[in-house]
């Protein structure tokens, strides 16, 4: 599964970004075609605000809402207690901002192994989720590589004392 962050959706719709727009649009189209795209309610909210208020020229609210409604087909992860708890774990472990922690948490909770974003360090790995920039990762690169790198479900050792090791003679 492929988690798509806000900036990828923004670039995909921003015609003034002559280099990034076609690359971002190709990634979004691929996620639609292969039905592997995932996102979150947070990302869709950020997209709506940014596309209607911050890019020039701004998109109409009606057109932006049509985009958001169509992306609801990706079954975006809601912000709920489970995501908040995961976000807090990520924030503490990786020292990410709160909003970035929620993005990574949403990707993890949806079983995504690849997170497309320009807002993180390209190649960073957060508990089985690899972040790649859609502007440095070729569209043709096999995503199977990221599936193979997935961590097992149990990431922490069992609690208690470690087993005794035999003494060397």
Give the dihedral of Cα atoms 122, 143, 104, 106; nearest 10 deg.
Answer: 160
pLDDT for residue 17: 82
Tell me, yes or no, whether 16 lies in a domain.
yes
Mind listing the pLDDT tens digit for each residue in 29-43? 999 999 999 999 999
Report how many domains make up the chain.
1
User: CATH no. for residue 70?
Assistant: 3.40.50.1010
48: which 2 tokens? 């709506």
- Whether residue 154 is contained in a domain is answered as no
Task: Name the pTM for this structure.
Answer: 0.82
pLDDT, mean of residues 125-140? 91
Task: Give percent of the chain with pLDDT exceeding 90.
Answer: 74
Domain span at residue 31?
2-148
Domain annotation covers residue 49: yes
Residue 113 maps to a domain: yes
Reply yes or no on whether the pLDDT at 84 is more than 90.
yes
Quote the radius of gyration of the chain (alpha carbons, Å). 18
Given a cut of 80, whether residue 80 has pLDDT beyond it is yes
């Amino acid at each position: 599964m492929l988690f798509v962050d806000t900036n990828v959706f923004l670039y995909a719709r921003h015609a003034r970004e002559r280099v990034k727009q076609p690359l971002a649009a190709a990634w979004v189209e691929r996620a639609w075609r292969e039905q592997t795209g995932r996102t979150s309610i947070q990302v869709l909210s950020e997209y709506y605000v940014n596309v209607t208020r911050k890019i020039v020229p701004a998109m109409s609210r009606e057109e932006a809402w049509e985009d958001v409604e169509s992306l609801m087909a990706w079954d975006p992860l809601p912000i709920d207690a489970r995501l908040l708890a995961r976000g807090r774990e990520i924030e503490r472990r990786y020292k990410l901002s709160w909003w970035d922690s929620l993005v990574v948490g949403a990707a993890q909770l949806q079983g995504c192994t690849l997170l497309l974003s320009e807002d993180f360090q390209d190649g960073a790995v957060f508990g089985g989720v690899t972040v790649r920039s859609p502007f440095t990762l070729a569209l043709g690169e096999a995503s199977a590589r990221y599936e193979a790198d997935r961590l097992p479900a149990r990431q922490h050792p069992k609690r208690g004392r470690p087993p005794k090791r035999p003494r060397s003679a």
